[in-house]
């Protein structure tokens, strides 16, 4: 079940619902209108759960990394397919660290398509080849690689990342800087 849940990371709301229904053998049981209603209800439950999100939920090492990147005057973009990303950043008190957040509502394609990462690069005014993308989902790693960015994977079970780290605690400015110099 854990690997199935991992496969839902980094993909669109509609795609995650499709996979859930397929996994449960229910894919053909709902028409497109019913699927849209299910996706809407699923998102309402998720948004409700976000009300309890606080700064204490920031993953280990992330606030420090973002502060170090800002001190180095490195622009940081967010490439999340979640329409709830702005709400999450606000709840975690991290919005100030991001120079640009790609607008997921403008996407035609979800990860593993590189569109969201290319939009973030464009918003930052930086070519993909001059960027590092960080992901905890396989679809995201595939999208980063397809975009031409350098890829950093966080967590076990990811393939294709140019740098794979066990957790966000290992994600530091010195480590990213060394990775950039050695690739």
If pLDDT is split at 50, 70 and 90, which confidence band does 1 have?
Answer: low
Q: Is 135 annotated as belonging to a binding site?
A: yes
Q: Is 74 annotated as belonging to a binding site?
A: no
Q: Is 76 annotated as belonging to a binding site?
A: no
If pLDDT is split at 50, 70 and 90, which confidence band does 103 have?
Answer: confident
Q: Is 32 annotated as belonging to a binding site?
A: no
Q: What is the CATH number of the domain that holds 63?
A: 3.40.50.1000
Report the distance separating Cα 26 and Cα 69, nearest Å.
45
Q: Is 16 annotated as belonging to a binding site?
A: yes
Mean pLDDT of 62-84: 95
If pLDDT is split at 50, 70 and 90, which confidence band does 44 have?
Answer: confident
Tell me what pLDDT residue 115 has.
97
How many independent structural domains does the chain possess? Answer: 1
Q: Is 84 annotated as belonging to a binding site?
A: yes
> Taking all residues of the chain, what is their mean pLDDT, rounded to a whole number?
91
Indicate whether 89 pLDDT > 80.
yes
CA 134 and chain centroid, separation: 8
Q: Are 35 and 21 in contact (CB under 8 A)?
A: yes
Q: Is 42 annotated as belonging to a binding site?
A: yes
Q: Is 116 annotated as belonging to a binding site?
A: no
Q: Is 10 annotated as belonging to a binding site?
A: yes
Instruction: Domain of residue 170: give its range.
Output: 1-183
Mean pLDDT of 98-127: 94
């Amino acid at each position: 079940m854990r690997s199935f849940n991992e496969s839902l990371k980094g993909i669109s709301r509609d795609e995650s619902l499709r996979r859930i229904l397929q996994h449960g053998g229910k894919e053909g049981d709902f028409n497109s209108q019913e699927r849209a209603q299910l996706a809407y209800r699923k998102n309402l439950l998720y948004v409700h759960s976000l009300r309890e999100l606080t700064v204490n939920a920031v993953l280990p090492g992330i606030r420090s990394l973002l502060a170090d990147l800002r001190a180095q005057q490195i622009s940081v973009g967010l490439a999340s397919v979640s329409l709830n990303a702005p709400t999450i950043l606000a709840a975690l008190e991290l919005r100030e660290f991001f120079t640009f957040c790609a607008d997921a509502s403008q996407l035609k394609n979800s990860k593993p398509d590189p569109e969201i990462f290319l939009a973030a690069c464009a918003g930052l005014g930086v070519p993909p080849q001059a960027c590092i993308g960080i992901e905890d989902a396989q679809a995201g790693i595939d999208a980063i690689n397809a975009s031409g960015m350098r890829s950093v994977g966080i967590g076990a079970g990811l393939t294709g990342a140019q740098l794979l780290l066990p957790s966000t605690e290992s994600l530091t400015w010195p480590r990213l800087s060394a990775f950039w110099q050695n690739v």
